[in-house]
Structure 1
Amino acid sequence: MDIPIRISRSCIDVNQCKDDFIQRRTLERIFHFSKETIAELKAKANTEIGTDKISSLQALLSHIWRSVIRNRSFEPNEDTKYRIVVGARQRCRELPENYFGNAILDTFVAMKSKELMEQGIGNPAWRLNRKIAAMTGESLKKYLETWPASPEFITLPGGDALVKTSSPRFDMYGTDFGWGKPVAVRSGPSNKFDGVLTLLCGAEAGSVDVEVCLFPETLEAIANDQEFIDTVTN
């Protein structure tokens, strides 16, 4: 039988992934960012770089990234990564209009801890902006064409990374299943590990709720970080 894509058994270590999940207990907390605060972060990031291309979401992600790494007490030259998921649907013209499955590809931005701390929110936000801009239909198509020759899978990040999931663009509060308007939106217990950030739209237009899942000591440090908490709305 001709199998066009052959995946080696050693390509992914299932047991290792399982161990990573259960090795340490994580906690999660919801942080609410108002429309006004996000606008301030966006203006600050763009001013630092001298551009107007950094989006509200990119500025918010940069702010959270810096806050988490600052409270993880990384060494100055230690590497840190921010993994983001980019939508392919609006980028790939070849994608049929009736295709309703996922169409995403992940990428990441890497920086030294020292760079992240010293360069404000503008520099990491700009790097996120440029990385996302580089994910064109052509680059996505090239990835799909070359993947069968060397299959690889997304693996759980180590303690040096953050991972963004979901999107505040999903109108969760506009959905009514007959029970009335939603009171709150949460992501549930699955796929929770140290460093995963789940972004959800807030109840107020333009606001964002961020589910932050971290090891207890890091989450507690962030909750006591005045620079971060000053941007959070109760």
Structure 2
Amino acid sequence: MSPIHFISTSTIQLTNAHQNHPQRIELTPGDLRVLRFNQNQKGLIFHKPKHLSNDQGLIEQLKTTLSHTLHIFYPLAGRLGLIENGNDDQTCCFFLHCNGEGAQFVHAVADGVTVADILEPTIVPDDLVYSFFPMNGLFNYQGISNPLLAVQVTELVDGIFIGCTMNHCVGDGTSFWHFFNTWSEICRRGGCVDQLSQPHPDLAREQLLNGIADLPIRIQRFQYHGIPERSVGPPLQQRVFHFSKERISQLKAKANAEMETDKISSLQALMAHLWISVTRSRGLDANEEVAYFILAGTRQRMQPKLREEFLGNAITSGLVKSTAGELVKNGLGWAAWEINKMIASKTTEEVRKSLDNWVKCPTVLKFEGMIDRTKLVTGSSHRFDVYGNDFGWGKPLAVRSGPADKCDGRLTVFAGADPGSIDFEACLSPETLQAMAQDPEFWTHDVKPNFNIGVDLNGAAQATPL
């Protein structure tokens, strides 16, 4: 029996429902590409505030400050708009309809569940963590008839979990955490929105294209009405690997020394370390091709550069390929250098060329089927300000992601709670995780696992920038 008890579901409106703002915001190629992906789901766990007189006061405070935040991030209070072009055309246009219909707010209680039940055990039973997130299983295009933002506040015995589901067509990981950072600051300041340290979002999406194409962009129609079909995948498990600042330095130094360079970054060394161990643990044939699908932010790769507070999807992707045997044989430095070269190749010219090619032949991909047991994909970023989200009760204890777009080989990177540390949330088959636990070369660097979520995931996997 699920310990989750739902108290209420309400709609949060803008503070000023009659504010003067555009009713329509066009979607860019990055926004349209993820229409058939699941939404962005991340959540934070806190100790329960002791200074509040009652839990209902906390809930009302969060509702009120969320309304203030939506006043600033008003597209999140809208819906996706859809225009179907003529029958002979067979194309359609999606856009953000800023109609102020509101965001969803869910108040729940996890009966008998403590913070320790989530953070301390090696295995968490069933899908406990995923029950802390609202609107599970929805695709982004279903924002036509569903909120673009949903928040679930779940009370634990001694803690609070704030799970947020944001439609990925509105923004990428940078946009997601910009919203979260703004909300927490407004709440910490008692609802005051004057002189925030967080800048307001930049909604000028046309600058992303910079003359490549006119908006709106027409795409081929697909089945966006009714209940989508879902494939049933194999059981998967999640485990969070925590890399301390010292271990990261060791891996980085080793990778650079092997390649006689100083260009390999800490994150590139970590990704290479995980890629090798996962490949070795999967027991693949030496001649079997393996690939690492990496997503990277393009705000600083555009010309002119996009502001960090740009609200939208500014990401690019690339593949690093090898054979299983070559990857394991060549080792850490070689794998990290291959990752380095791929990321370095994503120049301003290459990003612009990729946008231009997509506009000429728009395609909306499904995440299901893109990733299999020979591939890895890394999203999110260790640079996102996760632990700066103080709502007035202290910093978060940990960050967790929801069930959206999970697959065998999904690695989600976060900053660790300790300064300079990095966490990787690895979604893999139970057999692969078991083999990694017995891989002496992986553990040589004394990488300590944080916990292992033993949940079965039926279905696929978000793409956010690094």
- Structure 1: distance between partners of 2:356 and 2:320: 23
**2:299–2:306 CA contact under 8 A, matched in 1:** no
Aligned to 1:86: 296
**1:76–1:112 CA contact under 8 A, matched in 2:** yes
Deviations 1:50-100 (A, max 9, x none): 111000100000000000000000101100000000111011024554632
Aligned to 1:106: 317
- Work out whether 1:131 is the aligned partner of 2:342: yes
Equivalent runs, 1:53-64 vs 2, <5 Å? 53-64=263-274
Equivalent runs, 1:1-234 vs 2, <5 Å? 5-7=218-220, 15=229, 18-19=230-231, 22-94=232-304, 97=307, 99-154=310-365, 155=367, 156-231=370-445, 232-233=447-448
Instruction: Give the aligned residue type for 2:220.
Output: I
Deviations 1:139-173 (A, max 9, x none): 11111112122233453312110000111111211
- Structure 1: distance between partners of 2:364 and 2:257: 38
The alignment partner of 1:164 has SS state of: strand
What TM-score does the superposition give when structure 1 sets the normalisation length?
A: 0.90
Root-mean-square deviation (CA), in Å? 2.0
Greater Cα radius of gyration, structure 1 or 2: 2
- Structure 1: distance between partners of 2:405 and 2:392: 28
**2:294–2:318 CA contact under 8 A, matched in 1:** yes
Tell me by how many angstroms 1:29 deviates: 0.6
- Structure 2: distance between partners of 1:227 and 1:153: 40
Deviations 1:122-152 (A, max 9, x none): 1111111111111011111111112122233
**1:5–1:148 CA contact under 8 A, matched in 2:** no
Change in 2 beyond 3 A, CA 1:56/1:96? closer
- Structure 2: distance between partners of 1:152 and 1:69: 30
**1:5–1:149 CA contact under 8 A, matched in 2:** no
Tell me by how many angstroms 1:188 deviates: 2.2
Change in 2 beyond 3 A, CA 1:228/1:182? same
**2:219–2:363 CA contact under 8 A, matched in 1:** no
User: Whose RCO is larger (CA < 8 A, sep 6+)?
Assistant: 1
Tell me by how many angstroms 1:221 deviates: 1.1
Change in 2 beyond 3 A, CA 1:177/1:224? same
Change in 2 beyond 3 A, CA 1:55/1:217? same
Where in structure 2 are there 5+ consecutive unaligned residues? 1-84, 92-216, 450-466
After the TM superposition, which of the residue ranges 90-99 and 68-77 deviates more from structure 2?
Answer: 90-99
What TM-score does the superposition give when structure 2 sets the normalisation length?
A: 0.46
Greater strand percent: which structure? 2
After the TM superposition, which of the residue ranges 97-106 and 27-36 deviates more from structure 2?
Answer: 97-106
The alignment partner of 2:448 has SS state of: coil
- Structure 2: distance between partners of 1:226 and 1:162: 21
- Structure 1: distance between partners of 2:439 and 2:414: 22
- Structure 1: distance between partners of 2:378 and 2:248: 17
Aligned to 2:80: none
- Structure 1: distance between partners of 2:319 and 2:300: 20
After the TM superposition, which of the residue ranges 72-81 and 169-178 deviates more from structure 2?
Answer: 169-178
**2:300–2:306 CA contact under 8 A, matched in 1:** no
Aligned length: 227
The alignment partner of 2:378 has SS state of: strand
